[in-house]
Structure 1
Amino acid sequence: MKEAQYHLETEYKHLKIVNQYLMDVLPANLEQQIVGYLSDTLVNKLNIEDIEYYSFDPEKQILTLTAAFEKKQSKPLESNSLSTVALDQGLIGKVAKSLQTENIDNLRIHPEFEQKNSAHLSAVVVPIVTGDKLLGVIYCGSRDIADFSSQTQKSLNAIASITAIKLEKNSAIEQLQQTIEKLEYSGKIQDTLFEIAELIFETSDMQEFYERLHKSIAKLMFAANFFVALVIDDGDAITLPYAVDEVDEVPPNEIIPIDKAKPSITGYVLNTNKPLLASKQKMQSMIDSNELYIKGSLPYAWLGVPFGNPPLQGVVVVQSYKENVGFTKKDEQLLCFVARHIRNAIERMQARADLQFMALHDPLTKLPNRSLFNDRVQHALNSSKRDKHKKIALLFLDLDNFKQINDTYGHHIGDLLLVEVACLVKKCIRDTDSLSRLGGDEFAILLDDITTVEYAEKVANKVIKAITTLLTLGENQINTSISIGIAFQNLRENTLDSLMIRADKAMYQAKQQGRNRLVIDHSESD
């Protein structure tokens, strides 16, 4: 009767311990926390002398000793003391493979017990299993023979089962969180790629495109220091059409030669055609070994990814001057993925810019065409209406005897002459003025916001002098001249058409008066 009561009391005591462990481990989110509750239960409540906890790696098919507790004192394990056990290796491996608990009364005579220097005489080894999936193994050792009762083994099995369920649940939650994070990250990447694709439709010029591109990439990684480098001069140099740097001043459209023997770090990426993820130490080592050089300040971290093929080839770069901010392989993979789309976006943006330029510029001289020039003249006229002190002048220019030059030397030389004239005239005017090729051998100049009539006359004489210089075109030396008509805005009839007509008439008067001269239209002018 007393023995039955003792067994009931023991069973009740163990049941309370198991239930308490269940309550304790329920809120634990990390394996380390679970192992902490496990050790406390086994050592302090079940009075087990020594325990070892092995976690199982299903990919490597090995068990790793990750925690050990001796004589009721937690013993921290250093990394070099972590031991590993293969499946079916010794007592631990046998239990792991069979998924069956082993209660050994005498370890000295047990064939699988390999710990020859152990003081343990008996042990219970319990697999941590959910279904048929192994998660780990608990080893409980004692310095006495047959120290583990069937009730202790039963409680250990129950605790191992609770541990397995909790570990599996936490793993499922962790995997779910990782899946959510990956989905969110993938969504972020997809949104960014859509943004980049849309930039060609939403931006008006390349500068705005690069600024918006920078903002898009900054959503995915640290990009306080960012630049895009493009290859130019048939691969002999790179230029930086866009660069933002917290430390160094970067000149707009800076050109950097590519030295094959010792390139800049950006040139190095182009030469190897591979991404480069480098720390400050790695960059310094490459500098010391003369593999490359750094133009400007040495950052703490640098990430550059090449994109495209000739003729549109470049590198997109992010860098960090902060010691606590670096880049990872994940950033490298991401920038590689984005870089492919950057090349397509730049190509389309440039193609659009080329089409817009061709629509508004003369294909031979690259000067504004009649449509763009008229728009600029109209804008200047509107501005002069708002400010009566503003004066504008329109100059019509026509080459003398151009047909004769074309007939004598051929259209190729005639085209070279028109290009040369455009260059010479451009040097005679301000950056704020506009020069246009209207068609054939006719050009026009808009002098905006001038102070005196004499200034327009001075510019015209300067142009005439420049054009009458002996010009060398190919193997030919050609003398030519130019006739110019000048008209000023009229406050009583301030229209584009009237101004253009008066300047054109003045130019024909210059032709009739012997060419190579200027004529000013004074009709109805104030």
Structure 2
Amino acid sequence: MEDKLTVPSNLAHQNKRLKALLKKYKHAHHLQNALILLSEQASTVAELTLLYPAIHDILQKYVPSKSFYVVLSNRHTNLLELSYFSDEKDGLAIALNQHNSFNEGATGYVFKQGKTTYFTKQQMQDAANNGLFKALGTPAEHWIGVPVFQEKSIIGVLAAQSYDTKQGYSPQQIQLLEVMSLYLATAIERVKKREQLEAEVKVRTQALTQSNAALNLEVEQRKRALQRQQILFKISELATQAKNIDDVYLQLHEIIKSITYADNLYIALYNKDSGWLSFPYYVDEFKKNPQSRRFSKGYSELVISTEETQLIHPDRAKALIQDGTVQRTSPVPEKQMATSWLGAPLKTSQGVIGLIVCQAYNNKHIFSQDDCELITFVSHQIATVLQTKLANIALKKSHQELEFRVDEKTKELRQANLHLQMQIDERKKIEQQLYHDAHHDSLTGLANRSLFLTQLEKTLQEYHRFVEQHFAVLFIDLDKFKSINDQLGHHAGDQFLISVSKLFSQCIREHDLLARLGGDEFVILLTHLTEPQQAEDVANRIINLMAEPFCFKGSSLQSGASIGITYSNQSYKNTDEIIRDADAAMYYAKNSGRNRYELFHPLLTQAIPEQQSPVLHYLEQLPMNFRSSEIITLDENCQSESLLEAFGEHPILGYTSFDILKKFACDKEQHLNVELQLLQQAYTQTSNANLNVGLLPCSSLLLAHPEFNLFTDALSQCENKTQLCLLFDEQEIRYASATQIENLKQLSLNGYSIGLNNFAKDKCELNLLSEIDFDYLLLSSTFSKRILQQASYDLQLQGVLAITKIKNTKVIAKGPAILNFRALLDKHGLGFFIGKQSALNSSLQPSISHSESLQR
């Protein structure tokens, strides 16, 4: 009976033992497989930026590590710097903002202890409360940090965390992390050495390329010498192989063609005794074979008299005519004037017997000094061959008559072919002219409505396929055009339209389209835009050019341009909607004072009751949170967040509903009332939100007397004077009165936070920075972008940073995609940014991909 009971007991013991061995072998297999994969990645990955994601992929197969990061110690600064980061909840922006604080957190604790540490959520909170380290980021349910060693020195920390209470880390998984960390330093060194090796290969490849270039130059020189030698052989063979003098001329022409441009070539012979110049060979696309003439003052005579090769371009031709060296017996049509002329003398032992000339029309070719050397080189040999052949002409007089007839027929056929080609070309020109006339304005030569709408339709369709290819339409109406017609006459009006079209053409790029719709209305299509500011820059250039008076026959009138701008939008389905919105913005610009531009806003097309002011009506229709959403708030870590979800673009970044409300104010008093109401609401919102600082755009009108008293009364409601930074536009402050400047300084002296917006939009004036103590300086998006493009702007930036450092002013770069250039701008000395999230942040944190932020 005891034996029967012992058997099952033994079997159960063996099963338990087998299961333990299986688990052990499985764990060993996981370790081995992970190390093999790590070794493969270290052997194949070319960059460190690719190694860390590969390690992360390996870990996720065996360890809960969706949230995983690696920090390494910087031996120069002794700070832990982030090398790789992936988290389920915290975005990369948070990690980058806190990279200087890793030494104070749990990661730094593991680095100092030098051993693996595992915390649950409660354990980490207890440790933080006990002062072992600071709690950073979103609390995790399970967190483990493993030190990374290189030989016996710790160089960094590998950390993984889980936000799932049921998903912790077993001893086997911890052991796997530890084993991976042991091999991580070796893998990093292998990849670094591979990167260094690739860099050395590139340097050696470049050196080899330079060596090959020098070798190619030597080969090219030898080829040129061989070519010259072959040309001499060909010319020498003409003396014995050519059947007649005409054959000599033709073959000489082919030889010259092989070394330079010679579509138009002639050979002239000079009889010194008779003083006549003849042209036995003449090929030209415009002129027939000229008749012999007496020696006079032409280009050919200049070559013969100087016995030197002459290279003549239009500038030298004018100079020769002006000083009398060259004289023309009859005017030459401009189309038939050579734009480049090259002639070399044919010199023999008896003197100059003629010359050989190559010429080009319509800038088809510009002869160079190399061409001069080549034609001079072959002209001596040509002269010898021609002299030999001409000596035999007297012996073959009968044959010459027959050859002359053949040559005449050949010339007639050539001329007939040339005439036929000219007729074909003329018909093509007529067809092109008909197409041009159908799609262009007859007065100004600009594109007409038909061509503009066709191009706009293509652009709209392209934009719907590729949303990153933004465009803008500018609708332009000339101010006081009727006055010009009435006072100076319609002829003056036509001349004014022609002059305006030329001015507008100077303000756009080659691929942009300028069209005249009719009368005094023009439209511009701007394509391949990266930001709306570019369209505004074009409008400003037009307005500045139109500020000049128009003068006609002693009379002068001042005009201007009212411009409406609409930017590309996915809501546009057809071109009529785009023209309609641009036209609406233009009419608002005209009604707002003319000679200005306005951006389209949906409010421009809303039906508003006549008895109610548009701005008051719009304020009543909007909820309270809309009017406060125009504020950017900054926390103590210099990170921005908005109080509420913004409506439209942010005022710091572009055209906004905040601006349109103030623009729709009927007069100055209403404008001030609206701005004071917005200011009071802003204080209320920031006070309730209990945030550190908010940036609020303000008008310089608030600084004028007596409005300044109303302004300071509104400011008195703020308990913390620095809770709101009052932003004033740099262009308004530049032209502010002395009273306004003194009131602005008084705000700073009274402890209020003030800032300067859109600094250096058109020019950089440092006297404002040195004269007034600003807390914040927001660079314009144009200046922020051009810092990376032109060295002169970087020099201006260094001057700005030098002054703001003394003044303790925070300098902020801004732009629609400024975060894409964050690292580059940081090298220029900029540490604060306002703009849209970068593409990397968007991929890691889709929920905030369209939010606006200030990053450091």
Determine if the TM-score, normalized by the shorter chain, exceeds 0.5.
Answer: no
More RCO (CA 8 Å, sep 6+): 1
Normalized per residue, which structure has more helix? 2
Normalized per residue, which structure has more strand? 1
TM-score by length of 1: 0.41
